[in-house]
Chain A
Amino acid sequence: MDEKKLVIDAHDIYYKELNEMVRDAILNKDYNIVELDNVNGQRYIGDAIEKEATIIINGVPGNDLGAFMSGPTIIVNDNVQDAVGNTMSLGKIVVHGQASDVIGYGMRGGKIFIKGDVGYRVGIHMKAYKERMSYIVAGGNAGDFFGEYMAGGILVLLGLEEEDERPIVGDYLGTGMHGGIIYVRGEVNKKKLGKEVGIVDMTDADMKELEKLLKEYAADLDLDYENIMSKPFLKIIPVSHRPYGRLYAY
């Protein structure tokens, strides 16, 4: 498809107005690339847009970036705030910086690639169903409750900032998890694991899946793929599909 690009200067534009402009450009005027300059905390960019298009963001977007989104690709050339990809269904969000808390909450499909660190409760309640897969890859470190309540999909933590002396992940990793897979590059102190998950051996199928995903990640973020693959990975999965099955008397 031919490229049809619109550039919007977002300086001093209220979020409601900005989002109307973005929606109008993509849904009514058939622009397939919308570049937003001087973005400064405007919320809900890409919210619930159900069409393929690329949104390029220069500046730091506000919370709920790409919430309920189903199709677009969002490229952020800076950091992002909370709740990126909140309940998103399809599409891709690539962040060339760091991300804050609750990334990909209830995500039902699509990909979120973060170059740097991520905050708390990343990948909470991610889901997958058959061919509908959701993926989050974070390049730096993560806070507590990584993959909490996870029900499906793939969550990857790389810890690429080798000089960073903090532990790669916070406490309660995968707590309440009952589906999906978490891959962590390097070592994880077992004390960090939630009581519903365990570490198992990587299989060839796991490596194949990871290689495909991380090649795409490295290409999108201009990172060295070989360097990413230079350390072994750990696989973390739930030990039970019904972690609370015995909690109740019927």
Chain B
Amino acid sequence: MRRSYLIPEFVVDIEHTNCRRCKRCVMNCSYEALSFENKVVPDNFKCVACHRCVVYCPEQVITVRKNPTDFKGSANWTDRHRLDIWKQAETGSILLTGMGNDLPYEIIFDHLVLDACQVTNPSIDPLREPMELRTYLGKKPDSLEFVETPDGKLKLKEKPPKNLKLEIPIVFAPMSYGAISLNSHKAMAMAAKEMGTVMHTGEGGLHEELYDYGQYTITQCASGRFGVHADYLKRGIAVDIKIGQGAKPGIGGHLPGEKVGLDISKTRMIPMGTDALSPAPHHDIYSIEDLRQLIFAIKEATGYKPVSVKIATVHNIAAIASGVVRAGADIVYLDGFRGGTGAAPRIVRDHVGIPLELALASVDDRLRQEGIRNHASLIAAGSIRSAADAIKAIALGADAVAIGTGALIAIGCRVCQTCHMGRCAWGIATQRPELTRRLDPEIAAERLINLLRAWSLEIKEVLGSLGLNAIESLRGSRERLRGIGLDSQTLDILAVKAAGK
């Protein structure tokens, strides 16, 4: 075999003197980076830093480090550039990766700070006073007309459009059954039910075992139409049409054949071991009018349930979102360029699209200017890392936020970015039965419930300090935000004042 010029990304250190040779690390390493020959022997080339061995070593004798080997320094030819070139010179292939954009672009959320009440207006103590996080997603009527009933009471003249009622402004992002395991889906479904929110199914359909959770799911119709049938569309509380994904705007889905086992093959109706390819566009949608056609095909199919349209944040996003709302979408799901993925070419993940914060602000502004902001709700997604990000997104104009990677981290994900390999040691982004059973859906659901509870408490805490008692009072309230270290044009797009003003 020709020698590879690459060097391992990580180095596994085992403190052999204290190792009890139980081989638990070897059994746990799904990447086959550890073997046993009288003692544990690492193959550093195969280590992805998933930390499964580190966490499960009973003696805590395993350390995984970045390979300390120094490259001759260059701020231009970074280590990453050099390693990538070697890899491509050896394979001639597109670099595939998982999860969200990991390049050090400026994170605008981290340059925004929140207001609080001092002297001239009172803050509220959320521990003792009611605090409302309830959020309704969907079209709101332009005006209300009433008619008088014979017994002299007033009632609405027309039935208002159906809305989703969420107890918290946080939903689970679409991550398809295929990209992640059934147990991960189960955990999200259970947590959504407990917390009064919803999970998106993603484009791989819904496993029959989760049909009872229908009213806590938003089903998805994507370009591959995997798992999409009348019953599935009717099961959910709403349907999402996936046009784009923040991690890979403009390109289709690609579930590698390694992850297409028996169950996935059945749900998606494709032969086992084949790549599940979703075309880049929906081939029945080449225009806003065509999008309207599919939105109403789905509304006809579901008895006029809300339809959401998921788009990636790209240039001219405000005009695109306006078109989507005019096409009849009840919810616009904005997926920022840091959004995660189960598999995407790295060049697209890292270099295509615009930051969520800018897109959100400009979409909210445009819809208000056009007088159609009430026609659709906005879900902001694409790397919501904390309750702080969620609050800032809502202040910038979102009705709710979606968490994908954040939810996976809660149930064990270490962000090793190898979801596309289908070997996830934590049983999340894999379909191998010996790995998926590592994830106990009930324990995972509990962790998700804890996370959502913690974030909800934090949101209430901040609302109280802002003197607000309902999350909807904060929506689009940019006056409660200030920017630090942002240039004037960025502040202008965000419609946020500089700190100190």
Contacts and interface: CB of A to CB of B under 8 A. Distances in A.
**B partners with A:** yes
Interface of A: 16, 19, 43-44, 47-50, 63-64, 67-70, 82-83, 86-87, 89, 102, 105-106, 108, 121, 124-125, 127-129, 132, 148-149, 151-152, 176, 178-179, 241-250
Given A44-B296, A125-B279, A129-B266, A179 B284 contact: no
9 tightest A-B contacts by CB? A106-B225, A48-B301, A249-B93, A248-B96, A48-B230, A127-B269, A129-B269, A249-B91, A241-B274
A143 to B, nearest CB: 13
Contact of A179 (B224, B231, B271, B296): B271
B283 interface: yes
Contact of B269 (A63, A108, A176): A108
Given A68-B230, A106-B228, A249 B301 contact: no
Interface string B5-19: 000000000000000
B275 interface: yes
Most chain B CB inside 10 Å of its own CB: which residue of A106, A152, A243, A247: A106
Interface string B299-319: 011100000000000000000
5 contacts: A16-B300, A70-B229, A70-B231, A152-B270, A241-B271
Most chain A CB inside 10 Å of its own CB: which residue of B88, B254, B283, B293: B283
Given A129-B266, A248-B345, A102 B283 contact: yes
A105 B269 CA distance: 14
A48 B233 contact: yes
Interface in B269-302: 269-271, 273-275, 277, 279, 283-284, 293-294, 296-297, 300-302
A102 B284 contact: yes
Given A47-B301, A249-B93, A241 B273 contact: yes
Given A44-B297, A152-B270, A68 B275 contact: no
B392 interface: no
Nearest to B270: A151
Nearest to B273: A241
B451 interface: no
A248 B347 CA distance: 12
A49 B96 CA distance: 41
Contact of A68 (B95, B233, B418): B233
A110 B225 CA distance: 16
Interface residues of B, number: 44
B457 to A, nearest CB: 41
B87 interface: yes
Contacts of A82: 284
Contact of A67 (B257, B283, B301, B345): B301
Contact of A250 (B225, B254, B257, B421): B421
Contacts of B326: none
B234 interface: yes
A48 B88 contact: no
A123 to B, nearest CB: 11
Contacts of B421: 250
Given A127-B225, A127-B269, A241-B275, 5 more contacts: A64-B293, A89-B229, A176-B279, A178-B271, A248-B96
B265 interface: yes
B284 A125 contact: no
A7 B228 CA distance: 31
B285 to A, nearest CB: 10
B186 interface: no
Contact of B300 (A44, A151, A179): A44
Contacts of B221: 87
A180 to B, nearest CB: 9
A144 to B, nearest CB: 12
Given A102-B283, A178-B274, A248-B94, A128 B229 contact: no
Contacts of A148: 279, 283
A75 B283 CA distance: 25
